[in-house]
Amino acid sequence: MKGPSGKVPREDEEMSGEEKLMSIPEVKQVLEGVQGSRELSYEQKLALEHATYSSKTDPESAQKLVKELEKNERITDTIAYKIVEIWPTHPDDVKAIFAKERFTLKEDDVDTILKLVSKYERKA
């Protein structure tokens, strides 16, 4: 299911060879769709299990969150998807995501990210 770069192709792009970043909820949705039509490989079953337990929102909300995060000029698409994957709940979680970057986020930016993540969290 993963391409050579480690990215999972979207269901409609699987044959085109085009790869895009996907959020954990999107991976879950794609793997569930594939599971309905054929047997999943061992790795795909593990990925689906991981996505099921770690998914904190639905695919549509994950995409909305990515779009809102990308409005901040310092948040690249890769970082936005990493935020959706990790789903930070504490300022230190956000700072850890940005630890490799050549800049430090302001406290206001950290708070904004945490508020956005909380806004899109699936309610139990």
Question: Could you tell me if 21 and 77 are in contact, meaning their C-beta atoms sit under 8 angstroms apart?
Answer: yes
**pLDDT tens profile 102-115:** 988 899 999 999 99
Residue 120: name the closest of 44, 24, 36, 29 by CA: 24
Check the CA dihedral 57-60-97-86 and report its sign. Answer: positive
Q: Where are the domains of the chain?
A: 11-54, 59-120
Tokens representing 48? 């689906």
**Distance set, CA 124 to CA 38, 43, 45, 57, 111 (Å):** 31, 28, 25, 10, 23
pLDDT for the residue numbered 113: 96
What confidence tier does 65 reach under pLDDT thresholds 50, 70, 90?
A: very high
Each residue's pLDDT tens digit, 13-61: 454 567 889 999 999 999 999 998 999 999 999 999 999 998 899 999 9
CATH number of 59-120: 1.10.150
